[in-house]
Structure 1
C-alpha cells in the first residue's frame, strides 16, 4: 500500500509539473487541474465499517447533542410550576404578585435566554474547535455545563428565579458550543460511506434528549412542585457521562494533521478509528489538502471572499429554514398549545411526549435515507410537507369551535408537522455546513451558521408566546408564508451534496473566477479533496 501511495505521489508530482508547464494557462486554471488530480489520486476509504473506538467517540460526542435536546424541552412541562415559583418569590420580596403581562414577559425571557446563550456559544464554536480541538473542545465545555446545572438546581433553595434565568443562559452557551463541535467532530471522524448517517446521529441524540425531558416532566415522575428543580438539575448527568467517555476517545485526525501539523498523532488516531494499519492513503489525502488550504480562515476573511459567498448564503438560509419553520414554538410551548386546542393539562403533557416520540422515530428513519435519497431531496420534502400542514393547522384551529373534530385534527396535524421536520429540516442544516466548506473555511463558516441558527431560535422562542396571545389561532400563519419562501429557495439554489467530493462541490462556487488571492491568503483556489 505504501509503495502504491509513493507511485501515486510521483504521478501527482508529474501531473502537477505538466500542468504548471502548459503555456497559455493561468495560475488559477493550473491549480484547479492539480486539485482534480489530487481528488482522483487520494480518495479516502468509503468503508461502512464502524470500529469500537469510532462508536465510543460517536456516543461520547452525541451526549452533547442529547444535552442540547434535553434543555430545549425541559422547560416545557414545568411551565406552570416555575411560574408559580416566580410569583411566590416576587410576593415574598415585594408583597405583591406579578401581573399577567409581567409574568408573560418574564417567562418568555426564561425560555428565550437559552437561545441567547446559544448565540454566544455558537459564534465561538469555530474558535473553540480550533483552539482546543474537536474532542478537547467538548471536554473543556463540560465545565460550563456543570456550572449551569448547579445554578438551576439550586434556584429553588436559594429562592431566586434569577438563578434559573442565568443558568439557562449559561447552559445555552454550553449547548451552542456543542451544536458546532459535535457535527464537526462526527464529520471529521467518519468515512464517506457513513458520513451522512453518522451526521444524522447528532439530530437523533437531540430529539432523544427532548423526549427524555418531556417524559421526566410527567407529574408522576419529576413534574411536581416538589421536584421540578431536580428536572432542571439533571442536565449535569450528560456532563458526567461525557467526562467518563471522552478521555478514551481519539482527537479528530484531520484536526491533528491539518491544524496542529502533528502527523504522528494523526496517524495514531486514524489507526484507532479504522482498526487497521492501512491508513496511508488517508494521510496522503490530508497532506494534499493541507498543501492547498494552508491557513485557517477567519470569519472576516470568509465574509470578504466572493467565491464563498454563495455557499455561505445557502448555509445561512438552511439554518433560517430550520428555525423559522416555527418548530421551536412547538418544542417550547406545545403543552400550552395543546391546552388552547382543548386538551386538559395532563393530557397536553402526554401529547407533548408524543411529539418527542414522533421526532425520535422519524429521525431514525432518516439515518439510512440520508445517503440514499440525498440531502436536498429530504430537506425539500420536509419543508414542503411542513408548509402544507402549517396551513392545515391554522385552518383547523380557526374553525374548531364550529367543527368539533377539528380539535383532534389540529393535534394530529401538529404531530405530522413534527414528522416532516424530522424528515429533513431537523438534521440536514447541521450536516450540510461541513459539506459546503473545506477544512480551512469550515470553522469560520460553522461559527456564522450556528450563530444564525441560535439567533433565529431566540427570535422565534421569544415572539411565539406573544404571537400566540396576539393572533391566537393564526399563530402558525406567518410560518406558513416563510416556509413557502424556503421551499422556493431550496428548489432553486441548494445543490445535492450526496456522494460528491469537496472538490466537486467547490467547483459549483468557482463560476465567477474569483480567488482567495485577493485576500493575500495564498489560496488561488478554494476546495478540498475529501469526499462528502
Structure 2
C-alpha cells in the first residue's frame, strides 16, 4: 500500500474485510438449496427435526461466537482475529462438505456458526475503525450489502449445481464446499491488510497507528484524527461501563427492553424461514426442486436491491416511519401467503403467487426493516451502556434465530404452510404495536441527547408500560 493512494488503500481494506460478511451470507443461505438433497434417504436421511437442527445449530454457534469474540479481538487485534476467522471458516466448510452423518454435520455447522458470529461482530468493528467519521455509516453498512450478496451467490450456485447435476447424490457437498473460496480470499487478503489504527493507538502502539492512518487518510485528515482518537480513548477510559448490576436502574431496564424487543422483531417476522427454507417453501407450494432453486435467485436479487435502496433512504426518513411501513408490508404479505396456501391448494397458480408474495415480502423487510433495525439498536444505547446492551441484544437475536430455524420445518409438517405464515403475520402485528408504543425516533439526535432524554423520562419510575408509550410519541429535545 502506498500513502499517496490513500483512497484506494481504504477501498481495498473495506473490500477484503467484508468478505467476512460475504461468508456470513453464503453460509447462512447455502443450506436453503442444499437441504433437499442433503435430506435424501441415500444421503443424511434428515427428518423434520434433524433438518431444523442442521439449519439452526449454526445460529447457536453464532450466538457463542458473537459473545466470545470481543475479548479475542480486543486482545489480539482486528486483523489477527479476521485471519483466525478465515481459517475457521475454511476448516468448518470442508468439515461440513465431507460430513458422513448427522452428528458430524451438526458439529461442523456449530463450528461454522462460531465463525459467522465472530464475523458478525468483528467485521463491522474493523470497518468502523478504519472509516472516516463522515463516511462511517455508509462504510459499515457495506457489510450488510455483502451479507445479502453472499446469500444471493449461494442461491445462484445452488441453482446451477442443482439443475445441472441434480441426479448426482452428493451435490449438496459441492454447494457447501464453494464457501472455501471466499474464506481463502479473506485469509490471503487480510495478510496484506494493516491493523486497525484505533486498536493500535489504544494499545500504545502510536507510531504504527500513525503509519496506518497515513495509508488511508490525507496528511491533514490523519493529523486531526490522531488527536480525535486520543481524545475519545481518554473519554472512554474515564467512563464507568455499566454491568448487570445496573439493571436496577429504571431507564437502563427500559433501554435493554427496547433492544431485546427490536432483536425479536428482526427474527419473529419470519425472514430467516425464507432465507433458510425458501426452497422447501416453494416446493410445498408446487414448484419442482429445480424451479424452486431458480425462484430463490429472484429472492436473493430482490433482497440485494432492496437492501441498497434501504441504506440510501436511512438518512432521509425517520427510523420509525421506515420500520413501521416495513412491518405493515410484511404482515400483509405473510397473511397473503397464508391465505393463498389455504384457498388455492392444488392450483397451478399457487407456486407463482407464493413466489411473488415472497419477493414483495423481501422488498419490505430488506429495504425497510433490515437496515434500520440494528441502526436503532446501536443508537439507543449510550456509550457506557453499549457493551451490556448490545451484548444482550445480539445474544437474544441469535437465540431467536436458532429457535426459528429449528422449529420451522416441524411447523410445516405439523400445522402446514398456511398456519405457519399466519403465525408469522400475527407476530408482525405484535411487532407493529411494540414499535408504536415503545420505540422512540432516534434520527437526528446525538447519543448524549438520547441518554439525557431517557434518564429524565424514566429515571424515577418503576413501571414500564405507560412511561415508554409516552416516550415513543414524544419529540426528544
Q: Which of the five TM-score ranges fits, normalised by the shorter chain? A: 0.7 to 0.9
Counterpart Cα distance in 1 of 2:246 and 2:71: 14
Aligned to 1:247, which of 173, 178, 191? 191
Given that 1:393 and 1:413 are in contact with CA atoms closer than 8 Å, whether structure 2 keeps it comes out as: yes
Query: Residue 88 of structure 1 aligns with which residue?
Result: 42
Query: Residue 137 of structure 2 aligns with which residue?
Result: 196
Counterpart Cα distance in 2 of 1:65 and 1:347: 28
More moved, 361-370 vs 385-394: 361-370
Query: Residue 272 of structure 1 aligns with which residue?
Result: 215
Counterparts of 1:340-359 in structure 2, within 5 Å, are: 340-359=284-303
Counterparts of 1:160-175 in structure 2, within 5 Å, are: 160-175=101-116
Given that 1:108 and 1:461 are in contact with CA atoms closer than 8 Å, whether structure 2 keeps it comes out as: yes
Query: Residue 19 of structure 1 aligns with which residue?
Result: none
Query: Residue 181 of structure 2 aligns with which residue?
Result: 237
Q: Does 1:505 align with 2:461?
A: no
Q: For the structure 1 residues 384 and 70, does the alpha-carbon distance in structure 2 shift closer, same or farther, using more than 3 Å as the test?
A: same
Counterparts of 1:178-193 in structure 2, within 5 Å, are: 178-193=119-134
Q: Could you list the runs of 4 or more consecutive aligned residues of structure 1 that deviate by over 6 angstroms after TM superposition?
A: none
Query: Residue 63 of structure 2 aligns with which residue?
Result: 119
- From the two aligned structures, give the one with the greater helix fraction: 2
Counterparts of 1:487-502 in structure 2, within 5 Å, are: 487-502=432-447
Shift of 1:222: 6.3
Query: Residue 261 of structure 2 aligns with which residue?
Result: 317
Shift of 1:402: 8.3
Aligned to 1:208, which of 118, 133, 149? 149
Counterparts of 1:57-72 in structure 2, within 5 Å, are: 57-72=13-28
Counterpart Cα distance in 1 of 2:451 and 2:223: 25
Shift of 1:430: 3.5
Paired positions, count: 451
Q: For the structure 1 residues 73 and 299, does the alpha-carbon distance in structure 2 shift closer, same or farther, using more than 3 Å as the test?
A: farther
Counterpart Cα distance in 2 of 1:261 and 1:449: 31
Post-superposition CA distance 1:342-399 (Å, at most 9, x none): 2222111111121111111111222322222244433222222111211121111111
Q: Does 1:474 align with 2:456?
A: no
Given that 1:118 and 1:451 are in contact with CA atoms closer than 8 Å, whether structure 2 keeps it comes out as: no
Aligned to 1:366, which of 293, 307, 310? 310
Query: Residue 413 of structure 1 aligns with which residue?
Result: 357
Counterpart Cα distance in 1 of 2:246 and 2:386: 10
Unaligned runs of 5+ in 1: 1-48, 91-97, 516-532
Q: Does 1:283 align with 2:239?
A: no
Shift of 1:499: 4.6
- Point out the structure with max Rg over C-alpha: 1
Given that 2:286 and 2:350 are in contact with CA atoms closer than 8 Å, whether structure 1 keeps it comes out as: no
Given that 1:117 and 1:171 are in contact with CA atoms closer than 8 Å, whether structure 2 keeps it comes out as: yes
SS in 2 for 1:511: helix
Q: For the structure 1 residues 154 and 411, does the alpha-carbon distance in structure 2 shift closer, same or farther, using more than 3 Å as the test?
A: closer
SS in 1 for 2:134: coil
Counterpart Cα distance in 1 of 2:193 and 2:227: 23
SS in 2 for 1:490: helix
Shift of 1:507: 2.7
RMSD: 2.8
Counterpart Cα distance in 1 of 2:12 and 2:349: 48
Query: Residue 34 of structure 2 aligns with which residue?
Result: 78
Counterpart Cα distance in 1 of 2:444 and 2:329: 25
Given that 1:196 and 1:367 are in contact with CA atoms closer than 8 Å, whether structure 2 keeps it comes out as: no
